[in-house]
Amino acid sequence: MKTVTKRSGAMLGFSIYLDKDIGNEARNYIRLMKKNGFSEVFSSVHIPEEDATQYIKRLRSLGTVCLEENLKLTVDIDEQALRTLGVTISSARDLVSEGISALRLDDGFTNEQIAELSHQLSLALNASTISATDVQQLIKFGADFKHMEAWHNYYPRPETGLDETWFLEKNTWLKQHNFKVVAFVPGDKKLRGPIFQGLPSLEKHRNEHPLVAANELMKCFAVDKAFIGDPRLSNSVIAQFKSFYFENSAKLHIETKFPQLFERVWHNRPEVARDVVRLVESRKQNQHLSVVPDEGKPRKRGTITIDNLSYGRYRGEIQICKVDLGKDKKVNVIGHVLQKDIALLSLIGENTEIEFISDEEKKDD
C-alpha cells in the first residue's frame, strides 16, 4: 500500500453556507472533503432578524457535523449575530462546545474586546485592515497572539480582487508579527451568488484552477492556509487536491486515441525540462512499438506527443508540452490535456507521479 504523506505546510479548508439546511447533501460533501484531506470549514453567520431561528438551527447543525468529523469551524460574525446567538464577549467560550472553533471578527469589535476574546477561543482578524497600531493595542490589552490568525476577504465582484504585489507585502508584514495568514480561492462546480464569478482573494485567481490557485497562495504569497471560497468543488478537482497534496501526484484529464496512456502511472524525470514534461518510463514501455512518422502537427501547450522512429534512441518517449511548440516530423501528436487541467502542468516537478484520466470520466463528474 502506498504511504500517504502530506506536503509540508499545506493546510486546506472549504466553505459551507447557511442559505439552506445542513441536509444529507451538505453532510456528504463535508465528509468527502474531510476524507480527501481538508481539515477546516468556514461559514458566514450574518443572521437576518426575520429568520434568526432558522439560521441558528443551521449553524448548530453545521457545528455538530464539524464536531463529529473533527473539523475546525470558523464563522464570520458581527456583534449583532453574537448577541442573537445569546453569547457575550465573556461567554464566547461556550461556542466551542457547539462545534465553533474560531470566530472571524467583522467590523464593530474593539481591540480590547478582541484581546478578551482571544483568551476564550481562536480568532481570525481582517488581514487587509489590521495595522501596526492595532498590533500595539492588542499587546497593550494582553491579547493571546497564539490564538489569532489574519484572514483575507474574498471578492465576489470581478476586478475587485487583491493586487499581487500589495498582497505579498501585506502578508510578509503579517508574518513578521507572527500571524498565520489565510486566503481564499474559487471553486469550480457551484459558485456562490448573486454574482457567480468565484470567490478569490486575489483577482488573478478568479478563473484559475482551484488547485493551482491554492498552491500559488501557499508557495508564492506567504499564505499558510488556503480555503475554497465557493460552496462546491467538483469530485474530480477534490481528487486532484488529494493526489497533489498527499501523494505527490498529478491527475490529468485527457483526450487521446493512445490507450496505453491509461495502463499505468507515469513519472516526470528527476531533472525538470523547461518546455516539456518527460515521462521517464515511456521509452522502455514503448520500445516494442514502431511509431511511424506522420505529417507533424503544431504542439500547443497541453499537447501529448510520442517521439517516432526518426528520433533514434529517443523513439517511444512520451512528452507533455508545457509551452507552445512548432511542428517536428520526428514527433507525433497522440493526445491533449483538457483545457481545464492545462494549468496543472505548472505543478509537475521532479519525479512527480502522473495519472492520465479519460475525458469521459470528467463528463460524469
68 and 128 in a common domain: yes
96 and 224 in a common domain: yes
3-state SS assignment for residue 158: coil
d(CA 53, CA 248) in angstroms, rounded, equals 45
317 and 183 in a common domain: no
Domain of residue 338, CATH code: 2.40.100.10
Residue pair 348/354 in contact by the 8 Å Cβ criterion: yes
Domain boundary pick from 198, 216, 247: 247
Mean pLDDT calculated for residue range 67-90 = 92
Whether 6 maps to a domain, the answer reads: no
Residues in the chain: 365
Which residue has cell 488547485? 211
Mean pLDDT calculated for residue range 176-205 = 97
Q: How confident is the model at residue 216 (pLDDT cuts 50, 70, 90)?
A: very high
Domain boundary pick from 230, 247, 264: 247
270 and 173 in a common domain: no
Strand spans (E) along 193-330:
225-228, 249-256, 266-267, 276-278, 303-307, 318-321
Whether 4 maps to a domain, the answer reads: no
Whether 1 maps to a domain, the answer reads: no
296 and 238 in a common domain: no
One-letter amino acid for residue 298 of the chain: P
188 and 134 in a common domain: yes
d(CA 175, CA 128) in angstroms, rounded, equals 13
At 2 the pLDDT is: 40
At 4 the pLDDT is: 39
Output the DSSP codes for 120-157. TSEEEEETTT--HHHHHHHHHTT--GGGEEEE-----S
Domain of residue 143, CATH code: 3.20.20.70
- Which of 5-9, 88-92, 167-171, 355-359 has the weakest average pLDDT? 5-9
Whether 17 maps to a domain, the answer reads: yes
Whether 24 maps to a domain, the answer reads: yes
Whether 2 maps to a domain, the answer reads: no
207 and 116 in a common domain: yes
Question: In the predicted model, is pLDDT for residue 5 greater than 50?
Answer: no
What total number of domains does the chain contain? 2
196 and 221 in a common domain: yes
266 and 236 in a common domain: no
- In tens, the pLDDT along 124-176 reads 999 999 999 999 999 999 999 999 999 999 999 999 999 999 999 999 999 99
- In tens, the pLDDT along 292-323 reads 999 889 999 999 999 999 999 999 999 999 99
287 and 272 in a common domain: yes
Mean pLDDT calculated for residue range 44-63 = 85
Mean pLDDT calculated for residue range 237-243 = 97
At 3 the pLDDT is: 37
Q: Give the residue numbers spanning the domain of 152.
A: 11-247
Domain boundary pick from 247, 278, 307: 247
82 and 52 in a common domain: yes
Whether this model's pTM surpasses 0.85: yes
Whether 3 maps to a domain, the answer reads: no
Q: Give me 195's grid cell.
A: 454574482
Whether 91 maps to a domain, the answer reads: yes
173 and 108 in a common domain: yes
Angle at alpha carbon of residue 190, lines to 188 and 192, rounded to 5°: 110
Q: How confident is the model at residue 363 (pLDDT cuts 50, 70, 90)?
A: low
At 7 the pLDDT is: 55
